[in-house]
Structure 1
Amino acid sequence: MVNARAAALNPCGNLGSQENTLQLIQEQKVVTSFVDSSSHGQIETLPNRFETSDVVLRRDNQVVLAVFDNSFHVGALCTPFGRSLNCTDQLLAWPDASLATETSGFEGITYNPIDDTYFIAQETIKTDKKKVFRANIFETRIVSTNSIPIRVLESCIVNWNFASDNKGIEGLEFVSHQGTGKSYLLGLCEANGCNHKSTSDNDGRILVLEKKKANNKESCSWEPIGTIAMPTWVHFGDYSALSIYHRKAIDLPAYVAVTSQERSQVWVGMIEEINQAPFFSLSSLNNNTIYDLPRTSVTTPECGMKYCNIEGVAWQGGNELILVSDKAKTDQDTQCIEKDQSVHYFFLP
Structure 2
Amino acid sequence: MVFSAQELLLVRESPLAALLPTGHSHRWEASGVLALDGRLYVVCDDLRAIARLGENLLPTDDVVTLPDGRGRGYEDLAHDPATGRFYLLVESLRHGSRWMARVEEYDADLQPVSHGWLDFDLPSSNKGMEGLTCVRRSGTTYLLGLCEGNFCADGSRGRTPGGGRIQVFEQRGTEWAQVASVRLPSTLPFRDYSALGARNEQLAVVSQESSALWVGRLEPGEWAVRDAGTLYSFPRDQHEKVVYCNVEGVSWLSDHDLVMVSDRAKRDEQPDRCRVKEASIHVFALPEVGPRPSP
**By the TM > 0.5 criterion, same fold?**
yes
Q: 1:267 aligns with which of 204, 209, 214?
A: 214
- Aligned-pair Cα RMSD in Å: 2.0
* Equivalence for 1:240: 194
- Using the alignment, how far apart are the partners of 2:16 and 2:60 within structure 1? 13
Q: How does 1:98-177 map to 2 (within 5 A)?
A: 103-104=72-73, 106-129=74-97, 132-143=98-109, 150-177=110-137
What secondary structure is seen at the aligned counterpart in 1 of 2:274? helix
Is contact 1:25–1:346 with CA below 8 Å preserved after alignment? yes
Q: Which residue of 1 aligns with 2:65?
A: 93
Which structure is higher in strand share?
Answer: 2
Counterparts of 1:13 and 1:155, CA distance in 2: 41
- Normalised to the residue count of structure 1, the TM-score between the two structures is 0.77
Q: Does residue 2 of structure 2 align to residue 12 of structure 1?
A: yes
Matched, 1:23 2:18: no
Instruction: Write out per-residue CA displacement over residues 256-276 of structure 1, whole angstroms, 9 at most, x where no aligned residue.
Output: 1100000000001111334xx
- The aligned residue for residue 4 of structure 1 is none
Partner residue, 1:225 = 179
2:226 to 283, 286, 290: 283
Which blocks of at least 5 consecutive residues in structure 1 are unaligned? 1-10, 36-42, 144-149, 214-219, 247-253
The one of 284, 293, 297 aligned to 2:234? 293
Equivalent residue pairs, number: 284
Number of the residue aligned with 1:207:
167
How far apart in 2 are the matches of 1:14 and 1:234?
Answer: 11
Q: Distance in 2 between matches of 1:72 and 1:128?
A: 24
TM norm structure 2: 0.90
Match of 1:46 in 2: 24
AA aligned to 2:129 is: I
Runs (4+) off by over 6 Å: none
| Higher percent of residues as helix | 1
| 2: CA distance, partners of 1:236 / 1:298 | 22
Residue 55 of structure 1 pairs with residue 33 of structure 2: yes
CA–CA separation in structure 1 for the residues paired with 2:236 and 2:263 = 18
> Would the aligned equivalents of 2:20 and 2:60 in 1 still touch at CA under 8 Å?
no
- 1:7 — aligned with what? none
Question: 1:13–1:182: structure 2 CA closer, same or farther, 3 Å change rule?
Answer: closer
SS of the residue aligned with 2:276?
helix
Query: Aligned pair in 2 of structure 1 residues 192, 13: CA closer, same or farther (>3 Å)?
Result: closer
Q: Is the 8 A contact 1:231 1:283 kept in 2?
A: no
2:68/2:112 contact within 8 Å kept:
no
CA contact (8 A) 1:209 1:224 kept: yes
**Structure 2 residue aligned with 1:183:** 141
Of structures 1 and 2, the larger Rg is shown by: 1
Shift of 1:200: 2.1
What residue ranges of structure 2 are gaps of 5+ in the alignment?
Answer: 288-295
Deviation of the 1:25 alpha carbon? 1.0
- Equivalent residue number for residue 335 of structure 1: 273
Q: Which amino acid aligns with 1:238?
A: D
- Cα deviation for residue 227 of structure 1 reads 0.9
User: Letter of the aligned partner of 2:218 in structure 1?
Assistant: I
* Counterpart secondary structure, 1:339: coil
The alignment-based identity, stated in percent, is 30
Give the AA of the match of 2:40: V
